[in-house]
């Protein structure tokens, strides 16, 4: 665990660094408050800090206030070191954002015990953050494929439509459906069907850019949004995605299974604003046209275009 020591007295700083290095910490030592604030503001900065109250450039309590103003980085456990002993000073130090307060001269064993308390608090905070992120992921992602779930992908499409209209740009909406998927479930069972769905999701994510969107629309249907993609490139991009699904069989517990996908394709922006409901209806019609054309192909909405 990294720990920051901020003390303008070289001898005190050296003794602290020696003690904590022996205790197994990775020590970063600085001599003033500005350098301390800079270190603690780094994304990979220390999450434990020993701050002398009186330092050049920035006092220890001011460093605490600076760190507590951040909202986008992990919690930092800070201990103020000082010779001030009054209750008013203790209150002022803790109200600045410090987690603990140690009066000089202090016992090294007491210091290490207080730091162990800080470590336990940081570990608890990490577990809470992990649990929160896990709950957020479950609320927004499909449990089988880990793609965005239907509600989230539709909400994001609505937002992307508004953004595209505001910026006078275009997005392409794709609705893909695995061909003959019911036969996979009927012949090999639902666990094998689940393997196919998971691998399809992986291939879809691998075939789009990091700022595109992929969600599970329902069953074996997948909804995709290609940002900054207009009519000129829409069909070619759809074909790249279709080929990414069909080029190799899916390896399952029952052997290799060929898998293909039919796609409805709708670039927006050329015909003015449209509601999400209208767009989904149009791209669904295009998907139906792809199915009627023999499957394993792409069809543009409002156009007779196929592979």
CA dihedral 41, 46, 49, 53 (to 10 degrees): -30
H or E segment to which residue 223 belongs: strand 221-226
pLDDT value, residue 188: 95
pLDDT on residue 270? 58
Q: 40 by DSSP, 3-state: which?
A: helix
Residue 281's pLDDT is 94
Does the pLDDT value for residue 200 go beyond 50? Answer: yes
220 is catalytic: yes
pLDDT reported for residue 159: 92
In order of 183, 189, 267, the CA distances from 105 in angstroms are 77, 71, 71
- Taking each helix axis as running N to C, give the angle between helix 150-167 and helix 276-292, from 0 to 180 degrees, rounded to the nearest 10: 110
Q: Which of 220, 239, 270, 277 is catalytic?
A: 220
CATH of domain 150-300: 3.30.70.270
Chain centroid, CA 220 distance in Å: 25
Q: Which pLDDT band holds residue 303 (cuts at 50, 70, 90)?
A: very low
Find, among 253, 134, 124, 280, the residue nearest to 198 by Cα. 253
Range 22-46 average pLDDT: 91
pTM tops 0.85, yes or no:
no
CB contact set of 229 (below 8 Å; sequence gap of 6+) = 170, 171, 172, 237, 267
- 3-state SS, residue 163: helix
Q: Give the gyration radius of the chain's Cα atoms.
A: 29
DSSP structure class, residue 148: B
Backbone angles phi, psi at 299, to 5 degrees: -130, 130
- Write the pLDDT tens digit of every residue in 47-78: 999 999 989 888 999 999 999 988 778 899 99
Q: Are 114 and 102 in contact (CB under 8 A)?
A: yes
**pLDDT tier at 287 (50, 70, 90 boundaries)?**
very high
Query: How does the average pLDDT of the chain come out, rounded?
Result: 90
- Please state which CATH class domain 2-138 belongs to: alpha beta
Highest mean pLDDT among 48-57, 166-175, 287-296: 287-296
Q: Is the pLDDT of residue 280 over 70?
A: yes
Q: What's the CA gap between 280 and 210, in Å, rounded?
A: 23
Enter the DSSP assignment of 43: T
Between helix 33-41 and helix 60-68 the angle, nearest 10°, is 20
292 vs 167, which has greater pLDDT?
A: 292
Residue 58, number of CB atoms within 10 A of its CB: 19
Total Cβ atoms within 10 A of residue 32? 17
Q: What is the pLDDT of residue 272?
A: 61
Backbone φ, ψ for residue 212 (5° rounding): -85, 170
Q: Where are the domains of the chain?
A: 2-138, 150-300
Q: How far apart are CA 196 and CA 145, in angstroms?
A: 10
Q: pLDDT (tens digit, 9 = 90+) per residue, 235-272? A: 999 999 999 999 999 999 999 999 999 999 999 865 56
């Amino acid at each position: 665990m990294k720990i920051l020591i901020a003390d303008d007295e070289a001898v005190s700083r050296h003794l602290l660094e020696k003690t904590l290095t022996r205790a197994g910490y990775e020590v970063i030592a600085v001599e003033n408050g500005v350098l301390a604030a800079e270190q603690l503001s780094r994304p990979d900065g220390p999450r434990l800090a020993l701050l002398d109250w009186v330092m050049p450039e920035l006092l220890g309590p001011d460093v605490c206030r600076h760190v507590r103003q951040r909202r986008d980085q992990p919690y930092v456990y800070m201990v103020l070191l000082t010779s001030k002993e009054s209750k008013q000073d203790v209150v002022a130090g803790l109200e600045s954002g410090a987690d603990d307060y140690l009066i000089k001269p202090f016992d090294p064993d007491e210091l290490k015990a207080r730091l162990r308390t800080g470590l336990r608090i940081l570990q608890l905070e990490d577990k809470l953050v992990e649990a929160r992120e896990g709950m957020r992921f479950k609320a927004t992602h499909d449990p089988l494929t880990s793609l965005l779930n239907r509600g989230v992908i539709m909400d994001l499409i609505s937002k992307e439509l508004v953004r595209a209209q505001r910026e006078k740009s275009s997005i392409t909406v794709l609705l893909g459906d695995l061909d003959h998927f019911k036969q996979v479930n009927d012949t090999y069972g639902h666990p094998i069907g689940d393997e196919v769905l998971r691998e399809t999701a992986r291939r879809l994510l691998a075939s789009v850019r990091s700022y595109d969107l992929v969600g599970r629309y329902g069953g074996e249907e997948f909804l995709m949004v290609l940002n900054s993609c207009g009519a000129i490139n829409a069909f070619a991009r759809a074909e790249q995605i279709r080929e990414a699904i069909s080029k190799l069989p899916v390896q399952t517990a029952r052997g290799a299974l060929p898998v293909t996908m039919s796609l409805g394709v709708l670039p927006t922006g050329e015909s003015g604003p449209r509601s999400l409901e209208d767009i989904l209806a149009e791209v669904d019609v295009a998907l139906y046209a792809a199915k009627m054309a023999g499957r394993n192909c792409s069809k543009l909405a409002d156009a007779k275009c196929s592979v």
